[in-house]
Amino acid sequence: MEDLVLRCKNLNYNIGYKKIFQNLNFEIFKNDKILLQGENGVGKSTLLQLILNYNKNSSFEFKTNKNQNHLSYLGHKNGYYANLSLSTNLEYFNSILNFPISKEIILNYLKLFNLEKRISDKISIFSEGMKKKVGIIRALISKPSLLLLDEPFNSLDENSCNVLTKLLKEEFQNSSILIVSHDPKPVLEFANKKMILKDKSIQYV
């Protein structure tokens, strides 16, 4: 049987008087690469945020791996300290991981995304595309059991999209990935499953 990473069972969630999910059920297994799609407003981003805080909701069962960082998340906010330098940010986020990666791997990510010459600069002065790349690197360095990515290709140039696609395809075989993207083309290069949020529930296609 496949190794379970996350089970969602009978999730109900409202925002105000609006019901977002009703008895939502799904499972994510080891090494799953899942494209999550659905119309605007159905709750894709909300679902990723709920998974991020899985320990606050009894509908989620997360199977942790003692030899791997548990969870990493990239949302609409890129999750860094804008008034600090790029190097300070990455050194900090790497230092708080249970399993930090080497400086050489971080430097390689910076080179792949053409940021190695900006490591001493404050992120606040970066363009939107550069800020997105910082958020991506921040999320990737944990090499987690489950990687949650919400529209990671937004604001990226073509080369950076290709770099990200190649990294997820080749270097994250030991991670499960749940990714929201309105552009399915790059994701389908490595995804093995597709889930659609519709009518407050999950449909597999």
Banded model confidence at residue 131, pLDDT cuts 50, 70, 90: very high
Q: Which two tokens stand for residue 66?
A: 């003692």
86 closest CA partner among 59, 126, 55: 126
Residue located via tokens 């894709």: 44
Domain annotation covers residue 128: no
Domain annotation covers residue 193: yes
Q: Average pLDDT of 175-182?
A: 95
**pTM of model > 0.75:** yes
Q: Look up the CATH number of the domain holding residue 168.
A: 3.40.50.300
Mean predicted lDDT score pLDDT of the chain: 94
**SS3 track for 62-126:** ECCCCCCCCEEEECCCCCCCCCCEHHHHHHHHHHCCCCCCCHHHHHHHHHHCCCHHHCCCEHHHC
Considering its fold, how many domains does the chain have in total?
A: 1
Range of the domain at 44: 4-81+143-204
* All residues at 6 or more sequence positions from 74 whose CB lies less than 8 Å from its CB, including other chains: 135, 136, 138, 139, 148, 149, 150, 152
C-alpha to C-alpha distance for 68 and 65, rounded to whole angstroms? 5
Q: Which two tokens stand for residue 39?
A: 């119309």
Q: Average pLDDT of 60-66?
A: 90
pLDDT digits (tens, 9 = 90+) for 10-48: 999 999 999 999 999 999 999 999 999 999 999 999 999
Domain annotation covers residue 32: yes
Question: pLDDT value at position 1?
Answer: 47
Q: Which two tokens stand for residue 19?
A: 């019901």
Domain annotation covers residue 129: no
Domain annotation covers residue 21: yes
**Does the structure show a pLDDT above 50 at 173?**
yes
Q: pLDDT exceeding 90 applies to what percent of the chain?
A: 88
Domain annotation covers residue 185: yes
Q: Is 123 left (phi over 0), alpha (psi -120 to 50) or beta?
A: alpha
Domain annotation covers residue 91: no
Domain annotation covers residue 31: yes
Q: Average pLDDT of 68-93?
A: 96
